[in-house]
Amino acid sequence: MDNNDLVVVSEGEATIFYPPNNARLKYNASEIFSRDLNFSSGNGLKSIRFFKEIPIDFKITMNDFSKESCKLISKNANFNKLDNFNYEITNYYNIEEFNEKFDIIDLEIYNNSPIKYLESAIKLLSNENGLLALTFPDMGILAGNAYYDNCFATYGSIKLGNNDVTHESAIRIVLNTINLIASRHKKFIEPMISVYNNNYIKIYIQIIKNPLKAKNNAIKNSMMTFNCINCGFLKNYYNYYSLNNNNSNNNNLFEFKFQCNYCKSLIPKMTGPFWAGAMHNSIFIEKLLTIYNNNDLNLNNLQVIKKIELILKELKEIPFFFKPSTLASILKCPKTPSLLQFSNRLEQLGYNVSPTHCASSALKTDAPWETVCTVMEQFKAEIINYEN
């Protein structure tokens, strides 16, 4: 690869070469969020930053399917004087060719889902709380109003489609799939942080070996979601019948009724399965913010900090959210109340409310949908009375 065909760029403490006309290997400034939480890529930038910015001893194996990419990684490693660091550059197409266990595995396949490599990656993780980092760029399959068949074929889920919560549902589809695959190996997952950013999903999950918890986790943390096409109502039905077979619960999947609780519509749309548990670990995120705020690693990316702070505010145990603007349209409220007005009204009723990083102008709450709709109806009546 001739130097005349390459462009030089600096990010963090690293400086690399990249070919501007090669989409797979070029530098993408918009993905700095991913790199500030990552350490592996086709041009080596993330790995190099990891070496130059983390003051501890470790080994990194940088693998890529492309020989051209491996040559570029080697060139960039030499340019950044990594001779004294412990690293290896490999060109394996089948990652099961590795004969060692890893504490952290990062899978980022250019423009493709890493799902087909997931089982191999889980096998290669150390059994003691290995960390798996995954990037999912296939948002057209995971979210939106197309490729329903592709989503089901790839992830085994029926997606919510063109819905306000489509990006969070995409995260929950991915987490559910990973958890089911891990359970085959008597392991379960604990998400550390799950991020929707621009047009991709980035997740960090701990994979933990425990046969009993693996089975229970696969059952307890999976749900199907009923979506009322008429009023937008979302109701989650949990797959924990075998864990609670002596207790009746109206959220039980085996007691599902094809009728909307709010508007009584008989037009159901059953979606899922989705991950029903928390998408983030608050302790992990707080430590992450401490590192950023103390600037221990010389990281000054305000975009990353704001995103992480927003994620920390999210209600962890509440799947999905709603947009007051959408609800106002459904209930024909002439003016949408502000997020502050709506959240204050719900909090006065004793419910918890938070923002979400998956959508702007949206709220997470543990209030029942009937209560949320009642609050909007109250705003509607107040606005109409005021205007008259």
Indicate the pLDDT class of residue 257, thresholds 50, 70 and 90: low
pLDDT of 137 > 50? The answer is yes
196 or 53: which leads in pLDDT: 196
Give residue 25's pLDDT: 45
Q: How many CA atoms lie within 13 A of 326 on its CB side?
A: 18
15 or 354: which leads in pLDDT: 354
78 or 258: which leads in pLDDT: 78
- The mean pLDDT of 133-160, rounded to a whole number, is 94
Instruction: Burial-class residue 83 by CB neighbours within 10 Å (0-12, 13-18, 19+).
Output: exposed
- The mean pLDDT of 276-296, rounded to a whole number, is 88
Q: What is the mean pLDDT of the chain?
A: 83
Overall residue count recorded for the chain in this entry: 388
pTM for the predicted model, two decimal places: 0.85
Residue carrying the six token digits 């930038």: 45
| Span 324-340, pLDDT tens digits | 999 999 999 999 999 99
Q: Does domain 21-241+254-313 have CATH number 3.40.109.10?
A: no
Rounded alpha-carbon distances, angstroms, from residue 383 to 64, 102, 346, 386:
59, 60, 18, 5
pLDDT of 33 > 60? The answer is no
Domain ranges of the chain: 21-241+254-313, 324-387
Q: Which class is domain 324-387?
A: alpha beta
| Span 359-374, pLDDT tens digits | 999 999 999 999 999 9
Residue carrying the six token digits 């543990």: 366
Q: What is the dihedral of CA 116, 37, 173, 155, to 10 degrees?
A: -10
- CA–centroid distance for 52 within its chain: 27
pLDDT of 53 > 80? The answer is no
Among 38-47, 102-111, 314-323, the range with the most confident prediction by mean pLDDT is 314-323
Indicate the pLDDT class of residue 226, thresholds 50, 70 and 90: confident
The H or E element containing residue 190 is: strand 187-197
| Span 338-349, pLDDT tens digits | 999 999 999 999
